[in-house]
Chain A
Amino acid sequence: MIALPSIAFEGFSGSAKGVTARRVGGRNILSVKAWPTGPTTNAQVARRTSMSKISKSWKQLTNEQMREWDRLAEHASSASVLGQKTEISGMNLYIRLNVNRAMAGEALLSTAPESNVAVPNVEFTQVIVTPQLVVLGGVRHQPAPYKLVVKMSASQSAGITNGWSKTVIISPAMEEDWGEADVTKLYLKTIGVEPVPGQKVFVEAYWMDASTGFAGLEARKSVIVTGESSYVKRMQVTMDDLDPAEEQHVSSLDVDFSTAAPALYFDTVCLGHSNVASSEVVLDKEIPADCLGRAYAFARGMGEDGSIHPQSYEVSMSNWARKGEIHFMHRGGKYIKPSEVFGPGITYNA
């Protein structure tokens, strides 16, 4: 980038033949026109479309609303928006915050937020990148309205030390899952190819306040992709673990063993079957030995007639023919189809 003092270039702006000129802070700046280094992703297209719509909507604000955005911009350096301390105009702040909010699925914010409250920094203990797993582990929880934004690069040569310009947004706004941010599917969807073992991936993460659009400072880490990882995901059974070849009697399934407490956690909708007051699921994998046994949990009816009867359910976890089976068996209260079994389940050996 070249800053030219010459009056010959005053008033000159725009791009021509690979050169871009613009006037910033009373100075004329010429720079080589930047071209994208890779193919445009769907996410980038969506983000640019969103940005274009938001930019146009600025003109629909009232004068008072614009003045409020200008006033907020005077107090908000863009460090809290993009991590780089520069001055920012009211319009640019309006666009940036609303683009952030749009990523989180929030509606357009016409009125400027009352103040710029500091957004916490992301803290995590590990980043695991293998071809099969891309996870931020040990993420320190932040309550709503904070959402986690993760940016990552495609695999780079292991010798590259600065690849931060190569990162793209992997997760626009996610809620970490009990300290774990598993972006494996999002990485593959955005980058298009699995991480390559032996190469380097650049990772950036920050919290975004979905209510205002303000973002915290980025936490950065570069990691070498490994072929395998010793990282063990928590023991949880969900709909993804059901055997498609078997008959299943639930419409949603979450059995989470990772409490390290005397009870596990259920969040399952049991549909029942035949004339039996129970629901069964068959998994495509075995249940680990230390998770086998029985549990008791509350359930509540979800009857089409509005029945919300409280119930008691006994749940058994077992293996049969190398497949895990979970049986949700009604034990008390009025049996309602369907019912949701939820909350803690005291566990004991069968």
Chain B
Amino acid sequence: MFNSISNNFSAGVIQFKDVRESNYIVLNSVFTFRADSPAYQAAEVLEITVPDLNIDRSTETGVIIRYLSREMSYGYPYVCDGGTVLKSWIKDKNTICIEKLPQFDDQEELIIYIQTIYLQLNQGGNASKGTRKSITIEQAEKYLYFGYDTFVVIYPKWVFLHIDFSSSSYAYRNLDWSCVFEGLPSDVKADVPIIGAANYKNDKLGGVNVCHIEDCVWSMKAEDRNMGFENTGNYVFGMAYLIRDNQPVPDVPGRLRIAENPIKGGTYVQMNDFDLEVEPELGSASIAGSTGQYSKTTVTFYPVSVPEDMPSFRAFYLGRMMNGSGLCIQLISMEMDVLANRKPITFTRESGETNLVFKMFDTSAIMALNE
């Protein structure tokens, strides 16, 4: 978590939650500012100056801008909150930029939701794939309906959430809503923009409301939903990269762990049930996993996430496999290089079979890597 140093649109101090990996950063922040301020009116691009980021530039990403439009009509609330998605990018290691669109110049107050990932290109490998996990809706009395595209992709420090809202029962249309998002990690807490096609006061912009997610419970108050929110054809969706509050805690304090199933190194290069725990003070590391790389004597994997304090080291382990000749034991060296791009973990066959086909459950002393 960090605070901004300054900005050029009078938004005050902006607080960010962050997950930093070697070649990308996930940022979460919500902030409000006046669109009628001279600073905002004068800005061509919104620029937020921040302490050093881990990357010095990024591709464009999407952040949500929103304004509130609340009136009363014939004694009933007439909600038409609007907004769209803006382009945002990291210009240098101290500057986050957000595009400014003239469509919002006439508003009084604007809210920006940064819940996204900032990427870099030409990083020495292709995008890695996560696992799509469906969200199951649980309610004591079922009145909310979500579509197939309500799912989550879970990473150790953050999740990607896509919401595909369908409808509510007629009797509940004017009530507050809540349901359990079964499958979403319980350590995700956020106000997430939820976007519909209809905006009855500005047909050039989307209808943008906000839902609240906390402890797996999804909720939306009736007073915060746009007119026609639950109508057929409103195609309501939400999309956000959300940082988990409870960052992975090692099973044993002081240990550093990488657990990925699978950990990948290429199209067909992967190790299943990979689990590495390093205890730097004792100078030992335990490892588990299985892989099947034929006709290879060395293979490299790239972890999605590596603990900040993980050291570079080399260790030797025994792997085992059953083949036609019976039980085969291999001596395998493992090298973790946290200084290299993508922090590779390389396994090399030292003796035994000339394949890297093994199951491994072993503990070994670790040795510092000498440059």
Residue of A nearest to B124 (CB): A260
- Are B85 and A310 closer than 8 Å at their CB atoms? yes
A291 and B119 in contact, given A259-B23, A331-B149, A333-B196 (Cβ under 8 angstroms): no
Within the complex, the shortest CB–CB distance from B67 to chain A, in Å, comes to: 13
A258 to B91, CA, bound (A): 19
Across the interface, which residues of B come within 8 angstroms of A298, CB to CB? Answer: 62, 85, 239
- Are B304 and A262 closer than 8 Å at their CB atoms? yes
Residue of A nearest to B266 (CB): A290
A306: interface (CB < 8 Å): yes
A178 to B84, CA, bound (A): 29
Across the interface, which residues of A come within 8 angstroms of B92, CB to CB? Answer: 143
A245: interface (CB < 8 Å): no
A235: interface (CB < 8 Å): yes
- Are B123 and A260 closer than 8 Å at their CB atoms? yes
- Are A306 and B127 closer than 8 Å at their CB atoms? no
A224 to B119, CA, bound (A): 35
A332 and B130 in contact, given A259-B120, A343-B87 (Cβ under 8 angstroms): no
A290 and B126 in contact, given A261-B117, A262-B304, A344-B117 (Cβ under 8 angstroms): yes
A49 to B160, CA, bound (A): 56
A232 to B203, CA, bound (A): 47
Across the interface, which residues of B come within 8 angstroms of A178, CB to CB? Answer: 120-122
- Are B24 and A310 closer than 8 Å at their CB atoms? no
A259 and B127 in contact, given A310-B85, A333-B195, A343-B60 (Cβ under 8 angstroms): yes
- Are A334 and B23 closer than 8 Å at their CB atoms? no
A333 to B204, CA, bound (A): 12
Across the interface, which residues of A come within 8 angstroms of B56, CB to CB? Answer: 141
Across the interface, which residues of A come within 8 angstroms of B331, CB to CB? Answer: none
B100: interface (CB < 8 Å): no
B64: interface (CB < 8 Å): yes
Residue of B nearest to A332 (CB): B237
Interface residues of A in 116-130 (CB under 8 A from B): none
A343 and B121 in contact, given A258-B126, A260-B302 (Cβ under 8 angstroms): no
A259 and B121 in contact, given A307-B203, A308-B84, A344-B61 (Cβ under 8 angstroms): yes
- Are A258 and B122 closer than 8 Å at their CB atoms? yes
Across the interface, which residues of A come within 8 angstroms of B57, CB to CB? Answer: 141, 143
Interface residues of B in 204-254 (CB under 8 A from A): 204-206, 208, 235-237, 239, 241
A53: interface (CB < 8 Å): no
- Are A308 and B129 closer than 8 Å at their CB atoms? no
Residue of B nearest to A350 (CB): B132
A303 to B84, CA, bound (A): 13
Across the interface, which residues of B come within 8 angstroms of A146, CB to CB? Answer: none
- Are B122 and A314 closer than 8 Å at their CB atoms? no
Interface residues of B in 45-100 (CB under 8 A from A): 56-57, 59-62, 64, 83-85, 87, 91-92
A260 to B341, CA, bound (A): 10
A265 and B121 in contact, given A143-B92, A310-B84 (Cβ under 8 angstroms): yes
- Are B239 and A312 closer than 8 Å at their CB atoms? yes
Residue of A nearest to B193 (CB): A310
Within the complex, the shortest CB–CB distance from B148 to chain A, in Å, comes to: 10
A312 to B9, CA, bound (A): 28
- Main DSSP-derived SS at the B contact region: loop
A177: interface (CB < 8 Å): yes
A279: interface (CB < 8 Å): no
Among A260, A305, A333, max chain B CB count under 10 A is at A260
A347 to B87, CA, bound (A): 20
Across the interface, which residues of B come within 8 angstroms of A306, CB to CB? Answer: 103, 204
- Are B60 and A342 closer than 8 Å at their CB atoms? yes
A253: interface (CB < 8 Å): no
Within the complex, the shortest CB–CB distance from A138 to chain B, in Å, comes to: 9
A296 to B101, CA, bound (A): 24
Q: Mark A275-314, 1 if CB is under 8 A from B, else 0.
A: 0000000000000111101101111100101111111101
A347 and B235 in contact, given A261-B23, A310-B206 (Cβ under 8 angstroms): no
Beyond A261-B119, A298-B239, A347-B128, 13 extra complex contacts between A and B, CB < 8 Å: A260-B127, A261-B117, A263-B24, A263-B117, A263-B160, A306-B103, A309-B206, A310-B206, A310-B208, A333-B237, A342-B87, A348-B153, A349-B132
Q: List 28 A-B contacts (CB under 8 A).
A: A234-B121, A256-B121, A260-B128, A260-B341, A261-B123, A262-B117, A262-B129, A263-B24, A263-B160, A264-B126, A267-B60, A291-B126, A291-B127, A296-B160, A296-B239, A299-B85, A308-B103, A308-B204, A309-B84, A310-B195, A310-B206, A310-B208, A312-B237, A335-B235, A342-B87, A343-B59, A344-B62, A346-B153
The chain A residues found within 8 Å of chain B, CB to CB, are: 141, 143, 177-180, 234-235, 256-265, 267, 288-291, 293-294, 296-300, 303, 305-312, 314, 331-335, 342-344, 346-349
The chain B residues found within 8 Å of chain A, CB to CB, are: 21, 23-24, 56-57, 59-62, 64, 83-85, 87, 91-92, 101, 103, 116-117, 119-132, 149, 153, 155, 160, 162, 164, 195-198, 203-206, 208, 235-237, 239, 241, 266-268, 302, 304, 341-342
The 6 closest A-B pairs by CB, nearest first: A332-B237, A334-B197, A298-B62, A178-B122, A260-B125, A260-B123
